[in-house]
Amino acid sequence: MRKNGIIIAIDGPTASGKSTTAKRVAERLGFLHLNTGAMYRAFALLVRRRDHRGHDLERVHKLLEEADISFSPTGNIQLDGINVSRELQEPDIALLASELSTNPEVRAKLVEKQREIGKNGGVVLEGRDIGTVVFPDAELKIFLVADPAIRAERRQLEMEKLGTHIPLEELRQQLEERDKRDRERAISPLRKAADAIEVDTTNLTIDGQVERVLELAKQIMAVT
Ligand code: DC
């Protein structure tokens, strides 16, 4: 048993419902919520601010040494101590994060940080490789999936809340491009762990998907 409880790993493609589910499950259990995608996005923001491209590997590795990515006590992602959660929602930051996440040095550094934060348990981590690479010994592994059309609609709603309208077709293309790269990259590709439980959120409400994960977590907590 870990000091603070079990580790819940939630993986899945873009806009499959990971963040909302992970956040609410963590709140209900009094666990920490770690959005690892936000860490890749924060690094992408740093690269864009300082370098604009991300193709110059030497420069990327230098920035990696300087990168000060952390979480505030209330869970907001910070770059150099400043909350950047809003800027991380921009579609071009998501694409650059996906590109940079194919770089082994970038992954090694962020994975080390994720393990450090999560090792004592009592945590819900969401990402692409949590159940396969970051915590292959997590007590509960969930793999969320959803229909691409529904995922594009969900992303459109999220963007509209931030005041930006993006046509559905454009969003769907972006999702598919990102999914393809995340699944096909050589290191830690997006993949369902052999012992992960797949939850299809296409026809589930947010409450429905949260309840399903909580039900599974409670079963495991009862026997650990
Ligand atoms: O979950 P997200 O959309 O915020 O993640 C942004 C990108 O970061 C995603 O396209 C791939 C990468 N990522 C990753 O490679 N591994 C993770 N554990 C989380 C995100």
Q: What is the pLDDT of residues 86-115, one digit of tens each?
A: 999 888 899 999 999 999 999 999 999 999
For residue 143, the model assigns a pLDDT of 98
- pTM of full prediction above 0.85: yes
Ligand 1 binding pocket includes 41 (Cβ within 6 Å): yes
From CA 80, how far away is CA 68, in angstroms rounded?
5
Residue among 22, 33, 30 at smallest CA distance from 118? 33
From CA 66, how far away is CA 81, in angstroms rounded?
13
Ligand 1 binding pocket includes 107 (Cβ within 6 Å): no
Ligand 1 binding pocket includes 114 (Cβ within 6 Å): no
Give, using CA atoms, the residue closest to atom 20 of ligand 1. 37
> How far, in Å, is the centroid of ligand 1 from the Cα of 222?
31
Ligand 1 binding pocket includes 151 (Cβ within 6 Å): no
Ligand 1 binding pocket includes 129 (Cβ within 6 Å): yes
Give, using CA atoms, the residue closest to atom 9 of ligand 1. 98
Q: Say yes or no to pLDDT of 37 above 90.
A: yes
For residue 130, the model assigns a pLDDT of 98
pLDDT tens, 122-169?
A: 999 999 999 999 999 999 999 999 999 999 999 999 889 888 899 999
What residue segments make up the domains of the chain, in order of their start?
A: 7-221
> How far, in Å, is the centroid of ligand 1 from the Cα of 62?
21
Ligand 1 binding pocket includes 132 (Cβ within 6 Å): no
3-state secondary structure of 75: coil
Ligand 1 binding pocket includes 94 (Cβ within 6 Å): yes
Structure tokens at 121: 């348990």
Structure tokens at 188: 């830690």
Query: 159-162 long-range CB contacts below 8 Å, 24 or more apart?
Result: 159/89, 159/91, 162/86, 162/89
The CATH class, in words, for 7-221 is alpha beta
